[in-house]
Amino acid sequence: MPASFENDQRPAATGASPLTDAAWLDTNAKQGSLVGLRVLDLSRVLAGPLCAQMLSDHGADVIKVEAPQGDETRLLGPPFVEPGQAAYFSAINRGKRGLSLDLTTPADRAILEALLVNADVLIENFVPGTMAKWGLGYDEYLATAFPKLIYCSISGFGDTGPLANLPGYDAVLQAMCGLMSINGEPQTGPTRIGVPVVDQVTGYNAFSGIMMALWARIRTGQGQRVEATLFDSALSMLIPHAANWMNSGKTPALTGSAHPNIPTYNRFEVGDGQIFLGIVNEGQFKKFCKHIQREDLLSNPLFNSNASRMTNREALRHEMEVALKEFNRAELCKDLMALGVAAGPVHTVPEAFQQPHTVARDMFIQRDDYQGVGLPIKLSKTPGTAGVRPPRLGEHNPDIVR
């Protein structure tokens, strides 16, 4: 085990004896930068499990600890991979071992404490105060009993402030923190972003916080508490809308697919569908106009700068789409990209995963035991790998408890 992950000085929990390394070894050989890291994943739904899956993808030994009724995402189908396991659950729980414990009982809490003797990281996303109610609070007990432990708490609102200790879900936070107010068309009104983006960003924030805490532990020899909340994460995503409001006093409005500062960064209709153009500077705008044979737009005072194009964005959009109707989306995007002008077809989900580049980047995992999305973080010398299929509820109880 790498020295930076050693925890052999951690005191044993009362009434429990340390587990041997053999009890932690997975039957599947691990590889990656986090080999030797031991993680207890007590979280459920999305943000916490995603964070733990990322740790597993890069070599950590992750035990998913579930209540007897299981993580609720097991039932959020159809579709189901198998009875009792929805595809949703499969997306964020690969590479883990499954342990079912009832932490409301002393016997199962003792098992968890025995596991903590050799754990580096604990991730939980209970309503704040739940762990303390069970006698497992970080400040009240774990920080002293397991001083090297990295304790990651994920919640909706955190444990300070007027909304402390309240439950939170992705779409509710999208609404409360302004994300819905800038997403959608004027005719449809505020709209939830189509993926649980707040949950996902919170999972990434938790992952980053754990990595920082592990680095700090190398220097200090001490663990610490890492907190990631949906509320904080949602507010942090308001770029550039928050800065625009703070400096102009104007409330950001619904813009559909458009950018609030760049009129040529938007979705446009072409002859056989829709594309998204990412034209962000004058050089790209010149190349684009030349390619679509509308160089007259460059000399028009209504469109000769980003500021003037912002003022006249609807007129510009009309002129662009008249010209774009003559083009095929695939060929146009290919030609524009070759010129250095970012452009992409608006794909369906199947089309996105059928792209040759998706295969080349190993972003579509297709195995006999598992299908899923590949690893977005790639390391040259210690690459991660997608682990085995997600565990069935309590699948590894006999091995782990023994």
The helix (run of H) or strand (run of E) holding residue 97 is: strand 96-100
If one counts every other C-beta atom within 10 angstroms of the C-beta of residue 41, the result is 29
Q: Cα separations (Å) of 389 from 85, 93, 235, 369?
A: 11, 8, 34, 6
The helix (run of H) or strand (run of E) holding residue 150 is: strand 150-155
The pair of three-digit structure tokens given for residue 284, joined into one six-digit string: 């790209």
How far, in Å, CA of 128 to CA of 109, rounded? 18
Q: What's the DSSP call for residue 4?
A: G
How far, in Å, CA of 228 to CA of 42, rounded? 15
Euclidean distance between the first and final Cα of the chain, in Å?
Answer: 22
Cα 84 from chain centroid? Answer: 24
How far, in Å, CA of 42 to CA of 101, rounded? 10
DSSP-assigned letters across all residues of 208-233 = HHHHHHHHHHHHHS---EEEEEHHHH
Selected catalytic residue, list 8, 199, 272, 369: 199
- 3-state secondary structure labels for all residues of 330-398: HHHHHHHHHCCCEEEECCCHHHHHCCHHHHHCCCEEECCCCEEECCCCCCCCCCCCCCCCCCCCCCCHH
If one counts every other C-beta atom within 10 angstroms of the C-beta of residue 365, the result is 14
Q: Is 71 a catalytic residue?
A: no
Q: Which residues have a catalytic role annotated?
A: 199
